[in-house]
Amino acid sequence: METALITLHQVVLMLLLIAVGAICARLGWFDDRAARALSKFLLGFVTPALLLDAFYQPYDPAQARALLLAGLLGVLFHLLAAGAAQLLIRRGDAEARAIARLGAVYSNCGFMAFPIVRAVLGEEGVFLGSAFVGVFNVFLWTHGRALLLGRKGIRLKQAVCSPGVLGTAAGALLYFLQLPLPGIAADLISSLASLNTPLAMMVTGVFLSNCHPRELLQRRVLWPAVVRMAVLPFAFLGLLTLIGVPGWNGGATLALVVTLCASCPSAASSVLMTSSLGMDSSYGARIIFATSAISVLTVPLVSLAAAICFA
């Protein structure tokens, strides 16, 4: 129950930050152009800094094993999510289906999961969650682009060179080789990392500022949101329990981390991707709006169920 309450607190806090961003947009202080610029800053600097900050700690063999297992479980979740979205989301034209599937498969794990995981499990949780985020970035830039553009959208070089993957790779080198950082560099990384939650949520609020609550009731918005926030997290939780992950050494913590990463609202970066391709980014923003609203109920429920199943 304590885990669920902590999670609820974090979700409500992030929704309030989203509301601040929406208010700023309504006042004309931010517009979509400014939000896109800040998103590039978040993806290019803050996300890698967050990953580097998570990895910058003393090496521990058991922790290193858990990190690799978290990455494998991240792969398992994205394969499960991609297959489920293909089967469950079938209405609308080709573009609408692609955007809905993108919103259903990819969680806001980089922006939203870290503060929740940090509040629940501390820095160890962020460390393990960074492996999930690295896998997320590889899938987003390969499978995600292929959803929108077909096979021609797959850009392996872009995936490997994306800031999230580069941040994960650089952080892993720091960790496994125990490379030292000058004090000023470590402080810079920590300062950039601290911007993640407030800035990312406010930018999301700017994108959502023109959405109306009644749009939650549209089936084309509500169904992908239900798949993202309820079907996939609970299916993944059940799969982790079925294959016995909680019984592994340190498996309960590992399972909780990846489940929380999988239970976040739709990824803000999916809106950036559709916008950059000239597609209907407003539809993706409405799905984010719906999943963010639903998350107040579903994320604490998922964390409570996980705490019970993984105890």
74-113, pLDDT tens digit by residue?
999 999 999 999 999 988 888 889 899 999 999 988 777 8
**Statement: residue 159 has pLDDT above 70:** no
| Tokens read off for 142 | 């390969």
265: region left, alpha or beta (phi > 0 left; psi from -120 to 50 alpha)? beta
At 257 the pLDDT is 93
Residues above pLDDT 70, as percent of the chain: 92
At 104 the pLDDT is 94
Residues sharing a CB contact under 8 Å with residue 98, sequence separation 6 or more, in sequence order: 147, 148, 279
Buried b (16+ CB within 10 A) or exposed e, 177-192: eeeeeeeeeeeebeeb
At 54 the pLDDT is 80
**Statement: residue 153 has pLDDT above 60:** no
Helix, strand, coil fractions of the chain, as percent rounded to 5: 85, 0, 15
In which band, very low, low, confident or very high, does the pLDDT at 152 lie, cut at 50, 70 and 90? Answer: low
**Statement: residue 196 has pLDDT above 70:** yes
Q: What is the CA radius of gyration of the chain?
A: 18
**Statement: residue 276 has pLDDT above 70:** no
pLDDT, mean of residues 138-161? 75
In which band, very low, low, confident or very high, does the pLDDT at 154 lie, cut at 50, 70 and 90? Answer: low
User: 0.75 exceeded by the pTM?
Assistant: yes
pLDDT, mean of residues 143-163? 73
Residue of 65 and 217 predicted with greater confidence: 65
